[in-house]
Structure 1
Amino acid sequence: MTRLFIPALTIIAYFMPLKYMQGDIVDNLPALFKAGNAKELAKSFSSSVELNILNEDDVYSKAQAEQILRDFFNKHEPVNASVVHVIDTNPNYRFNILSLTTKSGKYRVSVTLRKTNNTFFITELRIEPDKS
Structure 2
Amino acid sequence: MMKLRLMPLLTLLFLLPMVATADTIEKISELIKQGNAHEIAKFFATSVDISILDETNVYSKAQSEMILDKFFKENKPHTVKLLHRINSNPNYNFGVLILTTDKGKFRVSYTLKEVNKVMAIIELRIETEKPN
Q: TM-score, normalised by structure 1?
A: 0.80
- Give deviations 1:53-99, integer Å, cap 9, x for gaps: 01100000000000000000000000011200001111100010011
1:11-64 deviation digits (Å, cap 9, x = unpaired): xxxxxxxxxxxx853221221011000000000000000000011000000000
Partner of 1:34: 33
What displacement does 1:117 show?
Answer: 2.0
Q: Pairwise CA RMSD of aligned residues?
A: 1.1
| Structure 1 runs, 4 residues or longer, greater than 3 Å off | none
CA distance in 1, matches of 2:25, 2:83: 13
Q: TM-score, normalised by structure 2?
A: 0.80
Aligned residues between the structures? 110
For structure 1, list consecutive stretches of 5 or more residues without a partner in the other structure: 1-22
Task: Tell me the residue number matched to 1:129.
Answer: 128
1:1-132 pair list within 5 angstroms = 24-132=23-131
What is the percentage of aligned positions where both structures have the same residue? 48
